[in-house]
């Protein structure tokens, strides 16, 4: 299972789920240390801001971040959960979960987006992360279009913990 949560729920979620892998997407000034229950090589720490376009003084997601996410996902044996978080659990973390899900389920971009929407009404995947991944993974716009079809998430200041299976079974959801 792939789980997504905001930073405020991270410690409780780690205690409850005992994930084997953790992805943190925070601005560099807010980056956390690896929790004691995890091996350092199983914690991907990406210091990026939640922006879609470059802005002075902020770090936009770039292709190197996508490569790190894909390599990290390749190292996950799926025997225990992967937990992904950002500050609010709405944008960077949901985009990363979507990217991992698409990476593990090639050709099911729409199903992955529908699965995410069904699991998280608040999800608003960062469009820059999705577009970079779409290009790097050779998905020819399918990831971008699928996320656009999700529509806007329900407004919330902070998301709540949600999960999605790493393997998509069956066809189109909903």
Q: Is the pLDDT of residue 172 over 50?
A: no
pLDDT tens for residues 70-117? 999 999 999 999 999 999 999 999 999 999 999 999 999 999 999 999
Domains and CATH numbers, the chain: 2-164 (3.90.190.10)
Tell me the pLDDT band of 171, cut-offs 50, 70 and 90. low
Non-local CB neighbours of 138 within 8 Å, separated by 6+ positions: none
Region 31-50 average pLDDT: 96
Nearest to 94 by CA among 107, 79, 113, 110: 113
- Say which DSSP state 90 is in: S
Nearest to 21 by CA among 96, 86, 92, 72: 72
Rounded CA gap, 63 and 3, in Å? 23
Region 16-38 average pLDDT: 96
Residue 156 has a pLDDT of 85
Rounded CA gap, 77 and 70, in Å? 13
Residue 173 has a pLDDT of 42
Token pair for residue 97?
A: 């979960």
User: How many angstroms from the chain centroid is the CA of residue 63?
Assistant: 15
- Say which DSSP state 39 is in: -
Percent of the chain with pLDDT over 90: 89
Report CA Rg, the chain: 15
1-26 in b/e form (b: 16+ CB < 10 A) is: ebbbbbbebbeebbeebebbbbbbbb
Which range among 44-53, 55-64, 149-158 shows the weakest confidence by mean pLDDT? 149-158
pLDDT tens for residues 109-152? 999 999 999 999 999 999 999 999 999 999 999 999 999 999 88
């Amino acid at each position: 299972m792939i789980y997504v949560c905001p930073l405020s729920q991270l410690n409780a979620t780690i205690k409850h789920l005992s994930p084997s892998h953790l992805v943190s997407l925070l601005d560099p000034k807010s980056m956390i240390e690896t929790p004691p229950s995890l091996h350092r090589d199983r914690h991907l720490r990406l210091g990026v801001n939640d922006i879609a376009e470059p802005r002075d003084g902020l770090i936009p997601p770039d292709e190197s971040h996508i490569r790190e996410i894909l390599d990290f996902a390749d190292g996950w044996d799926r025997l225990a959960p992967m937990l992904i978080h950002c500050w609010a659990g709405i944008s960077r973390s949901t985009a990363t979960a979507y990217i991992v899900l698409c990476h593990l389920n090639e050709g099911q971009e729409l199903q992955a987006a529908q699965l995410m929407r069904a699991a998280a009404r608040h999800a608003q995947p960062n469009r820059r992360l999705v577009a970079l991944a779409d290009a790097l993974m050779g998905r020819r716009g399918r990831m971008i279009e699928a996320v656009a079809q999700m529509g806007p998430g329900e407004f919330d200041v902070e998301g709540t913990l949600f999960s999605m299976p790493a393997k998509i079974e069956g066809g189109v959801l909903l």
